[in-house]
Amino acid sequence: MKQLIISFLLLLFLPSCEKGYTVNQMRILIKNETDSTMTVKLFPKSKYSRYGKYSYSDMHTKYKDTTFIPDRKLGTEIFSTDTVEMEPHILAKRVFDSLTIKLASGKILKFSPQGAVNYSKNLFSEKEAWTYQRNTMEHVRMWRENGVESEDYIFIIEGIN
């Protein structure tokens, strides 16, 4: 009887340890490459806002603060979707009304579909404003390794004092 139970448990759990599936996603990120610290304030469309935060993905229902300090090394994800063939500026327009960036010096950069203030590029209107990277990651869940193929577009703030 003991061997039967052990065999049953092995049959039950071994298949769940296999490799999982691969998820394809597209992410838009903001990265600070200036010598200054900065604070980003996002103004998401009402569809994505809840509880003073915003839903930062079409693929799950997690929420993030609308104000953050972007990561200097990798950049900070502002939205992800499983619609990988979309242009980054179109996705930004779909999710956000505008955003502002406040530098430590007090200078404020503003971005909206109507234009950019105090910066030469606008993340809402130009695909060329974005830097593309293809990244492969792993996401482990319940004894399975699920691969993630990510089409990442990074809006880099640089050359400002």
The answer to whether the CB of 137 falls within 8 A of the CB of 27 is no
Q: Which residue, chain included where needed, has tokens 């060329």?
A: 128
Tell me the residue type at 86. Answer: M
Rounded distance, CA 77 to CA 26, Å? 10
pLDDT digits (tens, 9 = 90+) for 96-145: 999 999 999 999 999 999 999 999 999 999 889 999 998 777 655 555 56
Length of the chain: 161
Cα separation, 110 vs 70, in Å, equals 16
114 vs 125: CA distance, rounded Å: 8
Record the pTM: 0.80
Per residue in 48-68, pLDDT tens?
Answer: 998 889 999 988 888 999 999
pLDDT at 15 exceeding the cut of 60? no
